[in-house]
Amino acid sequence: MNAVTPPYIKAAEDLRGNEGQWKAYQSTGNCVILAGPGSGKTKTITVKIARLLAEDVRRPRRIACITYSNACVGELRSRLIKLGIDNSDRLLLSTVHSFCLTELVLPYAAMTGLDVPEPLVVASPAQARKLFGDAYRAQLGGNAPNWFRTACEKLRRTIPDRDGDEWREWSRERRVIEAYEALLLQNGLIDFDGLVLAGLQLIEKHAWVRRTIRAKYPVVVIDEYQDLGLPLHRIVLALLRAGVRIPARWKLQHGAYYYRVPLGLEAMWDDKKFFRLGKRCRKRTKRGRPGWSPMRTHAPSANCWTAMPTK
């Protein structure tokens, strides 16, 4: 009696016609998939996850896949179910905030003495808005403009280190952010950005936390990397140094030829294994020379590049 061919094997055959898709699927180490809309990026990464689960990662170890939103989690889950992958005990599909909460902060914060609420309660959007408004009035007076709160959110995501000159340069924003974070703690709350910053501290400062994550998740897949910010990028760098394998996917923004690439990307993957999917990623720009052309972003920190993919 002939053995039944697994669904992921059949799906993988559809990738052979695209050189970038096939090489990404076949790769065995760390890799980056650069892709635009309609180029097959989600199919490539889900078929690759199915293959890793079937051929590489054995029980009791698991694979973690971190993405941007619950909608992205739902899309990945539905595609993986079609490939016969529906075992939650072998695959963690999670947003970055949920990963930091369940895999880092909840199990390890108390053991390291990290200053987070006990018990840990995540602030609702309404609670976060109110406390930010209170912090603004206490520090600067009046009501906080929406643009100022947005600027503070971006600042927290781009300057996670609070003891440097770069952080101290932002005097007004810094005062409000520190007052806001103090109010969260006083009220027994932590917000979504605080979860990621706490996870970053745990990963960077404690080698045993990194070893624990590597033992549980030898492979961590990053989806929608371009949307996840500098703290997650630094978490990834720390996990790479600890020996965790990282397949990652970047998406070109809104079909344009620009996307954000964190500083250090070019050197952090072995053999620079970048796989471009589709013609959109090969467009030559008028301003760009062949190869990678980095430019500074408008973020308050120089921790990210904007790159123009060219031939």
Residue 1 lies in a domain: no
Verify that 100 and 20 share a domain, yes or no. Answer: yes
Q: What is the pLDDT of residue 261?
A: 41
Q: What is the pLDDT of residue 258?
A: 33
Asked if 178 and 289 sit in the same domain, the reply is: no
Query: Tokens standing for 58?
Result: 């054995």
- The answer to whether residues 144 and 59 belong to one domain is no
Please list, residue by residue across 202-213, b when 16 or more beta carbons sit within 10 angstroms of its beta carbon and e when fewer do. Answer: bbbebeebbebb
> Which tokens in the block code for residue 145?
């403009």
User: What residues make up the domain containing 181?
Assistant: 123-189
Same domain membership, residue 295 and residue 220: yes
pLDDT score at 253? 43
The residue ranges of the chain whose pLDDT is under 50 are 252-272, 279-311
What local confidence, expressed as pLDDT, does residue 277 receive? 58
- Asked if residue 283 and residue 139 are part of one domain, the reply reads no
CA distance 217 to 65: 10
Burial class (CB in 10 A: 0-12, 13-18, 19+), 96: buried
pLDDT value at residue 256: 31
Domain boundary among 156, 189, 222: 189
Number of domains observed in the structure of the chain: 2
In the prediction, which pLDDT does 87 show? 67
Judge if 212 and 304 occupy the same domain: yes
pLDDT given for residue 251 in this prediction: 61
Q: What angle do CA 224, 278, 303 make, to 5 degrees?
A: 40
183 and 215 belong to one structural domain: no
Q: What H or E segment, with its residue span, contains residue 207? A: helix 207-216
- Enumerate residues 6+ apart whose C-beta is below 8 A from 281: 20, 34, 35, 36, 39, 252, 309
Give the model's pLDDT for residue 36: 75
pLDDT of residue 138: 98
Q: Are residues 173 and 254 in the same domain?
A: no
Name the E strands within 183-239.
219-222
Written as six digits, the tokens of 215 are 């033992």
- The domain boundary residue, chosen from 154, 189, 224: 189
pLDDT given for residue 19 in this prediction:
86
In a domain, 259, yes or no: yes
Do 220 and 163 reside in the same domain of the chain? no
Q: Is residue 102 part of a domain?
A: yes
Residue 22 lies in a domain: yes
Prediction pTM value = 0.81
292 and 152, same domain (yes or no): no
Q: Determine the straight-line distance between the first and last CA of the chain, rounded to whole angstroms.
A: 49
pLDDT at 300: 25
Residue 72 domain-assigned (yes or no): yes
Query: What is the domain-level CATH number for residue 257?
Result: 3.40.50.300
Q: Do 92 and 162 fall into the same domain?
A: no
